[in-house]
Chains A and B, each alone.
Chain A
Amino acid sequence: MPEILLQAQNLSRHFRLAGPWGRGPVLQAVDGVNFDLPGGETLGLVGESGCGKSTLGRLVLALLTPTRGEVRFLGEDLHRLPKARLKEARKQLQIIFQDPYSSLNPRMTVGQILEEPFIIHGLGTRKDRRDWTAQLLQEVGLSPEQRDRYPHEFSGGQRQRIGIARALALKPRLIVADEPVSALDVSIQAQILNLLAELQGRHGLTYLFISHDLSVISRISTRIAVMYAGRLMELASREIFDTARLHPYTEALLAAVPLPDPDRPFKPPALRGEPPSPLAIPSGCPFHPRCPEAQLPVCREVAPEYRETAPGHWVACHFR
């Protein structure tokens, strides 16, 4: 059993919005999320837009403070670490973003962008840092001669590689990839996914891979978590997910994946309606208004317990 790198326990983040007279309504972005992430694995986090995936990613990196619950990295509660220790821990925790256009500072050259992690942590001499940035560029398939160029001189795929190189600089153990290929062309998507897989093998990285695209998720993940309205609905290894998934929402998501097959008959979408607003999460099971299956009073009234039905397979549903 590999060590548990990351643990989320009852992790919640609510935002209080500003109303016309001061305090407004509460937005539940993430609510009561639990999971363990063993080192070396890739946990794919899938869900519709606005379900709280990115907020969860930022909580895990201590870029946001949780309202309740904790994030344990190698057993330590990240949000209770003193400032200096947190800065040290940040070396181990990095992030890759969706939009390769806003994730790089337009006023810095690629060399400056990649050198910055070392400067922040006071590592190496000027010459060391130059060598290291050259290595980083090579590692992501770019050439060290490109270090003096500005981000706008690169294509979207190349910029995403620069973002990946920056995330790799401090030799992290965990990388949160927040929709890293959603803004790219399909052909470039494959290149970036291959690069991520290759880097994982070479450096023993652990990924929390966030995406709304199930085909991307199932390609790269060893475990898959399904999120809905700020809560986890189901979490399982990919094998279980492919063969023995349980939650009706998971089923509906999979049924909605388009297949590039012109002979396949058109199926109407399995899900009715819209995902709920995080300002008004339905009572009981948050999925009950759209659930194609059980429509029982218990679904409306009682939030289902998130429990382990088989080793490593977690589900939140009254009927499974």
Chain B
Amino acid sequence: MKRREFWARLRRNRLAMTGLTLVVGLFAVSLLAPWLAPYDPNFIDLKEVLMPPTSQHLLGTDPLGRDVLSRIIYGSAVSLKVGFVAVGLATLIGLIIGAVAGFYGGWVDQVLMRLVDLMLCFPTFFLILAVIALLEPSIWNIMVVIGLTNWMGVARLVRAEFLSLKEREFVVAARALGASDARLMVRHLLPNALAPVMVSATLGVAGAILTESALSFLGLGVQPPTPSWGNILTAGKDNIEIAWWLSFFPGLAILATVMSYNLLGEGIREAIDPRLKE
């Protein structure tokens, strides 16, 4: 797949470009949070408790009088960090396990793939809940635990790619030249196996963000006062009859972010798939 052709095909996909724009926008927002946010996200103003959206507080305030817009803007950093670190970790583990299983085959493959099956048996979310309940809930623990429970899909993908790629003649040629196993894997197999991994990683980011929001919502994620979209929602739940804005806007942020990663991932998948070539 030529890089220029890939971009041309991605650019023609309007939904994917919408997703990409939103993802890039989110990055900008979280990096520029101190300049974009109108208030300090932790500034408590008890005279302005549960204010509906006004020109002073565009998205209203929470039960402690904190500005919801500022909290959502600062909270975006949590989503980004969780998305990238958790998925980065999951992808790294999946790549290594899948590569070793696919390359060496035989009993190594058997053992590693049974490990994958074993991990897939657990209902991931409840496993994460149990682990977080035992450890102290912090953003780093969440990222690591999400990463450690989401690598199986990548491992299977990479293994399948390696199984077919290792029989290809350019790999045999490199072996005949005396290339080491590590070199064969890193230089010849990996670069040709990355495309489907990219797609799965992009889609995985959406899943990780959703998991983090759910954990924070349950109080097992990012701990107050640090804002995260999930824990803003928790405050919203208690006041849902009197302060709709407290649930609506963070929910919208989660929805838009997850959807834009999904759109982008699907777009990349379509741009890569040679069968969709016109």
Q: Are A90 and B170 in contact (CB under 8 A)?
A: no
* B174: contacting residue among A86, A106, A116, CB under 8 A: A116
Q: Are B172 and A91 in contact (CB under 8 A)?
A: no
Given contacts A107-B192, A120-B183, contact A102 B176 (CB under 8 A): no
Compute how far the CA of A119 lies from the CA of B2 in the bound complex, rounded to whole angstroms.
Answer: 26
Shortest Cβ gap from B61 to chain A (Å): 53
Binary flags per residue of A55-76, CB closer than 8 Å to B gives 1, else 0: 0001001010000000000000
Binary flags per residue of A163-207, CB closer than 8 Å to B gives 1, else 0: 100110110000000000000000000000000000000000000
Compute how far the CA of A163 lies from the CA of B174 in the bound complex, rounded to whole angstroms.
Answer: 11
Say whether A80 faces chain B, with CB atoms less than 8 Å apart.
no
19 contacts between A and B (CB under 8 A): A63-B175, A87-B178, A90-B176, A90-B177, A93-B176, A95-B172, A98-B169, A104-B170, A105-B192, A107-B192, A116-B174, A116-B177, A117-B178, A120-B178, A120-B179, A121-B178, A152-B2, A166-B173, A169-B177
Q: How many A-B residue pairs have CB under 8 A?
A: 60
Question: A95-B176, A116-B187 given. 10 additional CB < 8 A pairs?
Answer: A61-B176, A63-B176, A95-B172, A102-B170, A103-B170, A105-B174, A107-B192, A116-B177, A120-B174, A152-B2
Q: Are A116 and B179 in contact (CB under 8 A)?
A: yes
Q: Are A97 and B177 in contact (CB under 8 A)?
A: no
The secondary-structure label for the interface of chain A is loop
Q: Are B178 and A103 in contact (CB under 8 A)?
A: no
- CB-CB < 8 A to A86: which residues of B? 178
The secondary-structure label for the interface of chain B is helix
Compute how far the CA of A52 lies from the CA of B172 in the bound complex, rounded to whole angstroms.
Answer: 17
Say whether A213 faces chain B, with CB atoms less than 8 Å apart.
no
- CB-CB < 8 A to B169: which residues of A? 97-99, 102-103
Interface residues of B (CB under 8 A from A): 2, 168-170, 172-180, 183, 187-188, 191-192
| B170, closest chain A residue (CB) | A105
Q: How big is the A interface, by class?
A: 20 to 34
Q: Are A91 and B179 in contact (CB under 8 A)?
A: no
Shortest Cβ gap from B262 to chain A (Å): 28
Interface residues of A (CB under 8 A from B): 58, 61, 63, 86-87, 90-91, 93-95, 97-99, 102-108, 116-117, 120-121, 150, 152, 163, 166-167, 169-170
* B176: contacting residue among A94, A104, A105, CB under 8 A: A94
Interface centre among B173, B180, B188, B192 (most CB of A within 10 A): B173
Q: Are A163 and B173 in contact (CB under 8 A)?
A: yes
Shortest Cβ gap from B104 to chain A (Å): 15
Q: Are A170 and B177 in contact (CB under 8 A)?
A: yes
Shortest Cβ gap from B12 to chain A (Å): 21
Compute how far the CA of A203 lies from the CA of B1 in the bound complex, rounded to whole angstroms.
Answer: 37
Shortest Cβ gap from A105 to chain B (Å): 4
